[in-house]
Structure 1
Amino acid sequence: MKFHKEGYTSLAITILFIFIINAIADYYDASTLVKWVLYIFSAFLFITIVQFFRSPRKNISVDDHIILCPADGKVVVIEETEETEYFNDKRIQVSIFMSPVNVHVNRNPISGIVSYFKYHPGKFLVAWHPKSSTDNERTTVVVKHQNNTEVLFRQIAGALARRIVWYVKEGDTVTQGNEFGFIKFGSRVDIFLPLGTQIDVNINDKVIGGKTTIARF
């Protein structure tokens, strides 16, 4: 287990905040009860930040016949829908909701070439809202597989997620299972697959990024 690089600033701010509130309590000679409440709150806050930005080490075997889950969380949507940003046709949408307790690293579901990338500023509706996929702050990535199939996946900010981070751009060669981004404090990832794709998950399944097979070519 390691601490993700995106959490360094948050951790530093948290430690500074903990130091300040405890120093103030000591300066004004707060009661024992108040000090213990602050100690417990400080420990809870520190543990919360550390667990949120944890980044488990994973041994991922590349398999060009499967589509890996891009994020840890729970499957909340499996449906046929119209994808209007890039494909402009019907696709199978699979959505994974990431709660604040999930690992928030986002991983490439397939290997290939990034044929499209776009960042969209937007709203911060709750991640399970029907319009969050089109109205919220988000990124859209399309990767073209060696078999010429294109897969679109989208990072979506939620009510708590106020920063989306991405590490890819158009023309990049990406490897299945490697990190392509990170979303802070609760969010969702949608993946759009060709009609007829074999889906290997069900609604409410708990999935693991880079480990769970979402679908097969």
Structure 2
Amino acid sequence: MLPALAPGTRRFALPPLVAALPLAVVSPPLGALALALGGFVLYFFRDPERSPPPNGVVSPADGRVSVVREEEGRIRVGVFMNVTDVHVLRAPLAGHVESATHRPGAHRPAFTKDSERNERVDVALDSHDVSMIAGWFARRIYPYVTASDDVERGDRIGHIAFGSRADVLLPPSYDREDVLVETGERVRAGETVVALESA
């Protein structure tokens, strides 16, 4: 079976794959380069299945934890996605989508503090919020959810093309002691538990 791919793959992968054959006739190295580029795009847009655990807040993205901080009485956990990470984003918790708002902005590297002003899509749910933040190279954020949608923990909620960050703003009932991950730790979208509320 072919691996699952995120929506929009054809737009980025088809041009270099189609160009590979005629380029190979003119210049074999250029043909090989186009083929490799098309293959990389297919790899980048891979969308593997995930098995969420029964409890806890799961990571919204694959990558490394880049932010763990308190803001206005709530805890934010951010995950920076490298170019080799899966870029399909997952719902950290079940909930009802109240809004999904696109906010234009800059395209600073997603692992820096300046990325707070980057282009983003903020998804507000009834219990928590998820922010999809574009990076310096990324120019496309593809949310899969809209207002009034219901999601389960681990459901696909969007993807970002080519380098980015995803944050979850935990429910108000969570505090710093409930967070199970530290900055620099690797996590997997929909599977790694980043926070577990104390009993």
Fold similarity call, TM over 0.5: yes
What residue in structure 2 maps to residue 117 of structure 1? 100
Deviations 1:136-195 (A, max 9, x none): 110101222xxxxx2111000001111000011122111111111000001001111235
CA pair 13-42 structure 1, distance change in 2 beyond 3 A:
closer
1:5 is paired with a residue whose SS is: coil
What residue in structure 2 maps to residue 28 of structure 1? none
What residue in structure 2 maps to residue 179 of structure 1? 156
What residue in structure 2 maps to residue 48 of structure 1? 40
Report 1:1-217 matches (<5 A).
1-25=3-27, 35=28, 37-61=29-53, 63=54, 65-81=55-71, 89-133=72-116, 135-144=117-126, 150-193=127-170, 194=172, 195-196=174-175, 198-217=178-197
Distance 1:196 1:57 in 2: 30
What residue in structure 2 maps to residue 147 of structure 1? none
- Pairwise CA RMSD of aligned residues? 1.7
1:54 is paired with a residue whose SS is: coil
The answer as to whether partners of 1:107 and 1:180 remain within 8 angstroms in 2 is: yes
The answer as to whether partners of 1:140 and 1:154 remain within 8 angstroms in 2 is: yes
1:9 is paired with a residue whose SS is: helix
Q: How many residues align?
A: 192
Deviation at 1:39, TM superposition (A): 4.5
Deviation at 1:123, TM superposition (A): 1.1
CA pair 20-163 structure 1, distance change in 2 beyond 3 A:
farther
Deviation at 1:122, TM superposition (A): 1.3
The answer as to whether partners of 1:110 and 1:143 remain within 8 angstroms in 2 is: no
The answer as to whether partners of 2:20 and 2:32 remain within 8 angstroms in 1 is: no
Deviations 1:37-63 (A, max 9, x none): 3344234313211210111122335x3
TM-score normalised over the length of structure 2 = 0.89
- Provide structure 1 residue ranges, at least 5 long, that are not aligned to the other structure: 26-34, 82-88, 145-149
Distance 1:55 1:48 in 2: 14
- Structure showing greater radius of gyration is 1
- Provide structure 2 residue ranges, at least 5 long, that are not aligned to the other structure: none
Distance 1:122 1:184 in 2: 16
The answer as to whether partners of 2:138 and 2:162 remain within 8 angstroms in 1 is: yes
